[in-house]
Chain A
Amino acid sequence: MQKKFGGSAIFLDRSDINTDEIIPAKYLTEVTKEALKPYILEDLKIDGFDPKSDELKKATVVVTRENFGCGSSREHAPWVFEVNDVHTVIAESYARIFRQNMFNGGMLAIELPKGDIDQLIALQQQGEVDIDVDLPAGVLTAKAGSENKQFSFEISEFDKALVEAGGWVEFADARY
């Protein structure tokens, strides 16, 4: 079943955020996804960022910079987003394994050029940013205050099929 995308955005304005920052290794002893929930972004180093903030609790979209999710292959990183209802990540670029893990779980890892990410981040000044994802059209609409901006994005046919199937296990099981 396809997941719900879009919603309230949180901005992580830094490149090279690694999976140890998204979910520290000491929590890898958990054997259920739900148990990871409180530890989201616990070790993230960005000035002013608070992993316990209401803003993060409310967020269902993460907007960030280059090489997001680098480091360990742990799928606990997409899972900690999933169990916190963050099903959409928008970044300039991703580490390969993290990106694949997002689509394998039926979630979205959207790539936008730096200029678009700059505009999205600037939009925060107008207030809370809400992002709507139109997957078939490949269009993101970001709303903040009275401003309204659109960005087009591309994902591959394969990634789209994974999202529609609800993930790689479903896709592969039906086909192989």
Chain B
Amino acid sequence: MGKTLAEKIFASHLRDEPFTGAKVLNLDRVLCHEITTPVAIADLVWREKDRVFDRDKLKVVIDHVTPSKDTKTATQAKILRDWARRHEIPDFFDIGRNGVCHAIFPEKGFIRPGFTVIMGDSHTCTHGAFGAFAAGVGTTDLEVGILKGVCAFREPQTLRVNLNGSLPAGVYAKDVILHVIGQLGVNGATDRVVEFRGEVVDAMNMDARMTLCNMAVEAGGTSGVCMPDMTTVDYLWEFIKDEFTDKAAALADYSQWVSDADAVYASVLDIDVSNLTPMITYGYKPDCVKPVAELAGTKVDQVYIGSCTNGRLEDLRQAAAVLKGKVIADSVRGIVSPATPKIFQDALAEGIIQVFMDSGFCVTNPTCGACLGMSNGVLAEGEVAASTTNRNFNGRMGKGGMVHLMSPESAAATALTGVITEASSLK
């Protein structure tokens, strides 16, 4: 019987099975940010176990609130910074070089096919785009990961989502994943790995695959995954070129992780995207999804473009294409946060930052920013945001605020008119 990618990774990383069904895995990466890690550090210090299992496997960033906004967030940053220095962790990204965790770590080539990855952050599932098993965990799992390099999981079954057909113009990975979550519901993938397959995924670049995998957790999924292929190799090549004679050799090696043709799936969802239209959320759960056209005309107060879902170069390009030569509505505040310094610089070089600024957008430094309502861009009570982020929970971007999730293109179109707008209706 064949194995899925997740089963292959579990088998190859199994350290221990203390009880039937409880799989303790060796970890290749333990990722840390300043919100969930400080409590783990404080606990390790309190236990007199202030050690790290392998400083080269820890990757650390300050991203959620940066620059620090007050004494408390400055203290969180300081705890993380002091700890990273104390343990001489080489890959620690502080202000000036920092960016949103799920964008900057892949960009640095830290995530490879077949890896096990944990982080104290639910959107760690993003990294499955590289054919890794990547799961969000709490602070206790993170603490044990830092100290021992292991994490326990119930072996998840795999839910396969076949994305067939071809994407119509103006429909993107974000629209696809919103549609998938609408189909699965917010707990339709609980304790499952969501495997994205099909010709639509094969044709996607890594940015788009990360957008897909990023929101697997909104359906309850443990990790999203895509199969490693030549697109993965091309993306990673500058980091792996010393490990392989050529790209074909890298591909041959990474292919060992691809799910076998006779692998067994818990369930399979077939979706033809050929007739899909741009999608949007309404309400306070990410499975409340409709075509953008059905909410067209709804007034918004703020448009946010950024986050680990849609703050990458491809996303900024799509938004800028809509904004170019135009000015956003007076009634709207536009904020864009390029997810990493590299994305910011590339966008600068391509003239995209200029387009945003000319259109009236505020361009912030790379950070999680408005995404979780604890840093900049917080909504006032009763305000409505059009956002390219991943959560529309009540109060997510500010107490009493309402969030509509959508693609960068839809968000840009909405900024121009001040009301929810499908980009194609502007043409």
Contacts and interface: CB of A to CB of B under 8 A. Distances in A.
B318 interface: no
A72 B378 CA distance: 18
Nearest to A157: B19
B222 A96 contact: yes
Interface in B1-55: 15-16, 18-22, 24, 35-36, 38-39, 42-43, 47, 49
A70 B220 contact: yes
A25 interface: yes
B144 interface: yes
Nearest to B140: A104
Interface string A142-176: 00000000000000111001000001110011011
21 contacts: A21-B393, A21-B395, A24-B395, A29-B73, A30-B72, A31-B75, A31-B76, A32-B39, A33-B39, A70-B187, A73-B124, A73-B137, A75-B36, A95-B190, A95-B220, A96-B220, A96-B222, A97-B122, A101-B139, A158-B19, A161-B19
Contact of B187 (A28, A95, A172): A95
B148 interface: yes
Given A16-B285, A96-B191, A169-B140, A161 B18 contact: yes
B399 interface: yes
Nearest to B124: A73
A92 to B, nearest CB: 10
Given A73-B120, A95-B187, A95-B190, A173 B147 contact: yes
A176 B64 CA distance: 32
A66 B137 CA distance: 20
B16 A175 contact: yes
A10 B76 CA distance: 33
B39 A31 contact: yes
Nearest to B74: A29
B186 interface: yes
A94 B372 CA distance: 22
Nearest to A105: B140
Contacts of B47: 169
B138 A101 contact: yes
B147 A97 contact: no
Given A18-B393, A20-B394, A176 B150 contact: yes
A71 interface: yes
Contacts of A175: 16, 18
B244 to A, nearest CB: 33
A172 B144 contact: yes
Complex A-B, nearest 5 residue pairs according to Cβ-Cβ distance, in ascending order: A75-B138, A158-B22, A101-B138, A104-B140, A29-B72
A28 B72 CA distance: 10
A26 B72 CA distance: 11
A16 B186 contact: yes
A28 B34 CA distance: 10
B379 to A, nearest CB: 12
Given A20-B396, A172-B144, 19 more contacts: A16-B285, A20-B394, A25-B373, A29-B65, A31-B72, A73-B121, A74-B36, A75-B138, A93-B187, A95-B190, A96-B220, A96-B222, A97-B122, A97-B137, A156-B21, A169-B47, A172-B148, A175-B18, A176-B24
Interface residues of B, number: 58
Contacts of B19: 156-158, 161
Contacts of A21: 393-395
Interface of A: 16, 18, 20-21, 24-26, 28-33, 43, 45, 66-67, 70-75, 78, 93-97, 100-101, 104-105, 156-158, 161, 167-169, 172-173, 175-176
B73 to A, nearest CB: 5
B140 A75 contact: yes
B396 A25 contact: yes
Nearest to B371: A25
B22 A20 contact: no
A150 B79 CA distance: 47
B219 to A, nearest CB: 10
A132 B187 CA distance: 29
B374 interface: yes
Given A21-B394, A156-B21, A16 B39 contact: no
B139 A75 contact: yes
A73 B154 CA distance: 17
Contacts of A32: 39, 42
A28 B138 CA distance: 13
B190 A96 contact: yes
Contacts of A94: 190
B382 to A, nearest CB: 15
Contacts of B374: 25-26, 28-29
A94 B121 CA distance: 17
